[in-house]
Amino acid sequence: MRLHRNLVFAVIDGLNEIFNEGAYADKVVQKLLKRDKRWGSRDRSFVAETVYDIVRWKRLYSEIADISEHYSRENLWKIFAVWATLRGITLPDWKQIAPTPTRRIKGRFDELSKIRKFRESIPDWMDELGEKELGSKWEKEIAALNEQAPVILRANLLKISRDKLRGILEDENIDTEFIKGYSSALQLTERANVFSTEAFKKGFFEVQDASSQLVAEFLDVKPGQRVVDTCAGAGGKTLHLAALMENKGQVIAMDIYSNKLKELKRRARRAGAHNIEPRTIESTKDIKKLHNKADRVLIDAPCSGLGVLSRNPDAKWKLQPEFLDKIKQTQSEILESYAKMVKPGGKLVYATCSILPSENQDQVKAFLTKEIGKDFTFVKDKKVLSSESGFDGFYMALLERK
């Protein structure tokens, strides 16, 4: 593989923004890909994948390159040299790249690969927490979360069947396969830009991980019901709920961020989902108005996001232990407050994209001992681990109000 100067410079600039300016990797990559109109798809995928790769293995590569936290441009070039060497890429004779000690890099890699926190490139605290909460499962789980996430589509059943969508995508040179046990999902056999397809523009599908697709189905919605999605965000699960309800009834999509709900409106238009009503949560009054009024309530709670590290590798470096304590408090408050919207006989799903029992089973157990929680019975839950499913780590619990 021959390295091209303008592509490598783009990678270095991107890493500088992510490591030194606290920018989010996905936003940086989006911006980088628009940098040069002459780049072909191979150039763009080199930039995106190299940036994500180096972000994912930041700790391991820094350790090999013997770099402490300050990522000067010189240090970023050293990390890039480690990345290239471990991939067997011959480094060009550029002034930015110092003579690279190939043998030492490979020796250090072998040595550090024996220690999990370096091998899996994670902060000490995260390694300790994972082991404490998941025990022997942590080893396999963190390895799975370091794999690149597959691209999964959800057929929008309001407009098209999954089989028909597969055929249409094939005509656009995008090959997909069915996933056993996931009724609306298609997995890409190789990565491609699905957003430029006619099928996407016509609202025939959304990009949504397979584990995430289980959540709306878990809520057991029926056409004609009133359903509240309390932390709707940009609405991946909201749109799925609308489809499962065949556009009949009402999905109230709530969030504290109105800009996310704007994006949901746009997506709902494209998907042809007419039964969604976005509502910004401005105060507790907005919740109180709905007390005892919903047949179904979905709480897709804010969480550590540890189940989606393969999709957001920079979360490994942005996440802090203090945030975890705070978010658990938030989860508990949200569950207690939003559960009051469920009417007697109605159902509630509490879900997170975390793999930690302290954010999942423990939260549900604690809720069931509280005043409002005593009105509910636990029906069932589902724990999805990346190492077992090949998809995102997720948790969902179904509760019924007496």
Return binding residues for S-adenosyl-L-methionine: 255, 300
Sign of CA dihedral 134, 139, 141, 145: positive
Q: Is 353 a catalytic residue?
A: yes
Q: Kindly state the tokens that stand for 338.
A: 């939003």
Nearest by Cα to 118 from 101, 142, 89: 142
Tell me the binding residues: 255, 300
Q: Maximum distance among all alpha carbons in the chain?
A: 72
CA gap 321, 172 in Å, rounded: 45
CA gap 165, 176 in Å, rounded: 10
Catalytic residue among 84, 353, 384, 397: 353
CA 152 to chain centre: 12
Which residues lie closer than 8 Å to 366 by C-beta, 6 or more apart? 332, 373
| Contact (CB, 8 A) for 219 and 241 | yes
Element (H, E) at 169: helix 162-171
| Contact (CB, 8 A) for 159 and 199 | no
Q: Kindly state the tokens that stand for 342.
A: 């469920």
Q: Looking at 194-336, which runs of residues are DSSP E strands?
A: 205-207, 226-229, 250-255, 276-280, 294-300
Residue 38 has phi, psi (to 5 degrees) of -80, -10
CA gap 148, 135 in Å, rounded: 24
User: Which positions are annotated as active-site residues?
Assistant: 353
